[in-house]
Amino acid sequence: MAEKRKGRVLIVDDEKGIRQALKMVLQEDYEVILAASGAEAVDAFTQNAFDIVLLDILLPDSNGLDLLKTFKETDPNTAVVMVTAVKEIKTAVQAIKAGAYEYIIKPFVVDDLLAVLDRAQEKKKLLQQVSYLKHELQRYHLFEKMIGKDPKMTEVFDLIATVASSDGAVLIQGESGTGKELVARAIHHLSSRKDQPFVVINCAAIPASLMESEIFGHQKGAFTGAVSSVMGKFEVADGGTVFLDDIDCLEVSMQAKLLRVIQEKEFERVGSNKVLKADIRFVAACNKEMQTLIQEGRFREDLFYRLNVFPIKLPPLRERRIDIPLLLEHFLDCHAQRTGKPAKRFSDEALAQLTAYQWPGNVRELQNLVERLFTITKSDVIGVENLFGLSIAGKQLHDMTLREAVNDFEKDFITQVLARVRGNRKKAAEILGIHRNTLLAKINELGIEA
Ligand SMILES: Nc1ncnc2c1ncn2[C@@H]1O[C@H](COP(=O)(O)OP(=O)(O)OP(=O)(O)O)[C@@H](O)[C@H]1O
Ligand SMILES: [Mg+2]
């Protein structure tokens, strides 16, 4: 049998005789550390983790109740057992209300003491397990919703965890639908601010004329129509996280005001001189190349640097293809669960074809497509026949020459056919009705991945 770890006990008592006696009794079963005063106790507590503290109520330099509070704040799982004389029982009861585990009355019977400590250690272990599980549960919920096995995504997950433990601003860059908002929420929920508000400000959707009042709030009578005072989003977010979505759409004049809030943590409501303070963690997102906007004078460089303390880049879905089948199946399950309908699955060929697709709308496009397929497919297996015409129908048109468009189409089409025949070029050439050498040339020319 593996040897059980000895519990660590801190004995806090100003009487040397009692400290020594307790040590004698406990040292066989516990690792014992002694403190003769409140100051010594706090010192020991910051240097070591304790399972149990045996705490005298009356100390020359401090009060046992205050110490109890300090210990509970530092490590809420430590079990504190108050040691008390009969005449201090009232205080001991108060201590229990303040979170002490138990009290024992001096002079004590050794067996009673050992029994109390045994239970205290058991309880500490349980508490520790509960807080660990709570933590895991939270992670599970978050990352359960966020699918990704591609190394590019696991890197992003690691970054989220790191960033969550700090308070610096975060700038998330990625194409539309890559999961920027999901990442912002994950950061908030893993941070110490998780019990405070997560407030979204959509810079693209709010008209510039309303933005200032939306963010800062306004005083009654500040402008026509301001019939009452209104709290702005920054006030609402105090202590929490503000997610500035599509930050590139923020007007230059508002950029200056935002910069001031980030630097000085101060602002005023529109129409008021009263300086307000808010403790906010900023997370911003954009789907454009910020450097270009800065060069064009459309985004303040100083604001960019303030926001870009922690940059997170979300790769487009086509650059993490191994995640595509995972996401497809994930959303299929989600949809079945939500609607209470029997589960469906994709045929291998359908999965291959969808994996080869370019996904210009990224995860959001994929999610919508899965919903559509789930609804319209009668059979419980979604096959290639159900995908007919999909890649072309779903394609976003952007400025390109005919030659580029044809190349784009050819590349997509050949990739899909190759996926369907699992890379067998002879078969693919047959299906495409071209010579094998022509296919090889096109694979090279168009940069099609094997
Ligand atoms: N890795 C992922 N795992 C599971 N679901 C995801 C993942 N990434 C994104 N999603 C889902 O895809 C949808 C789009 O994500 P989100 O809204 O975060 O994208 P976005 O980058 O903010 O897009 P936009 O730029 O258009 O605002 C959401 O429903 C989100 O839950
Ligand atoms: Mg978004």
CB-CB neighbours of 210 under 10 Å: 9
Query: With bands split at pLDDT 50, 70 and 90, how would you rate the model's confidence at 122?
Result: confident
Of 178-182, 309-313, 355-359, 379-383, which range is least confident? 355-359
- Ligand with the closest atom to the CA of 174: 1
Judge contact between 148 and 156, C-beta under 8 A: yes
**255 within ligand 1 shell (Cβ under 6 A):** no
pLDDT, the chain, mean = 87
Q: Say whether pLDDT at 36 is over 80.
A: yes
Q: Tell me how far the alpha carbon of residue 211 lies from the centroid of ligand 1, in angstroms.
A: 25
Ligand 1 closest atom vs CA 178: 21
Domain 319-446 grouped into CATH 1.10.3720.10? no
Burial 423-448 (b: 16+ CB within 10 A, else e): eeeeebbeebeeeeeebeebbeeeeb
- Report which protein residue has its CA nearest ligand 1's atom 26: 176
Class of CATH domain 146-315 = alpha beta
Q: Say whether pLDDT at 134 is over 70.
A: no
Judge contact between 31 and 6, C-beta under 8 A: yes
Q: Say whether pLDDT at 33 is over 90.
A: yes
- Ligand with the closest atom to the CA of 314: 1
Q: Tell me how far the alpha carbon of residue 84 lies from the centroid of ligand 2, in angstroms.
A: 59
> To the nearest whole percent, how much of the chain has pLDDT over 90?
52
Q: Tell me how far the alpha carbon of residue 177 lies from the centroid of ligand 1, in angstroms.
A: 5
**233 within ligand 1 shell (Cβ under 6 A):** no
Q: Tell me how far the alpha carbon of residue 184 lies from the centroid of ligand 2, in angstroms.
A: 9
What pLDDT, in 10s, does the model give residues 169-201?
999 999 999 999 999 999 998 899 988 889 999
- Report which protein residue has its CA nearest ligand 1's atom 12: 364
**What's the CATH architecture for 7-131?**
3-Layer(aba) Sandwich (3.40)
- Of 281, 286, 353, 285, nearest to 324 by C-alpha is 353
Query: With bands split at pLDDT 50, 70 and 90, how would you rate the model's confidence at 4?
Result: low
Judge contact between 117 and 9, C-beta under 8 A: yes
Of 88-92, 117-121, 197-201, 274-278, which range is least confident? 88-92
**334 within ligand 1 shell (Cβ under 6 A):** no
Residue 424, SS3 per DSSP? coil
What pLDDT, in 10s, does the model give residues 361-392?
999 999 989 998 998 888 999 998 888 766 53
> For the chain, what are the domain ranges?
7-131, 146-315, 319-446
Gap between the Cα atoms of 79 and 403, Å rounded: 74
Gap between the Cα atoms of 415 and 149, Å rounded: 22
Tokens at residue 49, please? Answer: 């983790």
What pLDDT, in 10s, does the model give residues 388-434?
766 534 444 455 677 777 787 788 889 888 887 888 899 999 989 89
Residue 61, SS3 per DSSP? coil
Query: With bands split at pLDDT 50, 70 and 90, how would you rate the model's confidence at 5?
Result: low
Q: Say whether pLDDT at 40 is over 70.
A: yes
Tokens at residue 250, please? Answer: 């923020």
Query: With bands split at pLDDT 50, 70 and 90, how would you rate the model's confidence at 143?
Result: low
Write down the pLDDT at residue 139: 55
Query: With bands split at pLDDT 50, 70 and 90, how would you rate the model's confidence at 93?
Result: confident
Domain 146-315 and domain 319-446, same fold? Reply is: no
Q: Which residue has the tokens 């640097």?
A: 305
Write down the pLDDT at residue 390: 61
**185 within ligand 1 shell (Cβ under 6 A):** no
Gap between the Cα atoms of 346 and 365, Å rounded: 17
Write down the pLDDT at residue 137: 55
Write down the pLDDT at residue 301: 95
Q: Is the dihedral of CA 408, 414, 419, 422 positive or negative?
A: negative
Q: Say whether pLDDT at 54 is over 90.
A: yes
**177 within ligand 1 shell (Cβ under 6 A):** yes
Q: Say whether pLDDT at 261 is over 90.
A: yes
- Ligand with the closest atom to the CA of 178: 1
Query: With bands split at pLDDT 50, 70 and 90, how would you rate the model's confidence at 115?
Result: very high
Q: Average the pLDDT over 436-450 and give the result.
A: 89
Q: Average the pLDDT over 11-24 and give the result.
A: 92
Query: With bands split at pLDDT 50, 70 and 90, how would you rate the model's confidence at 1?
Result: very low
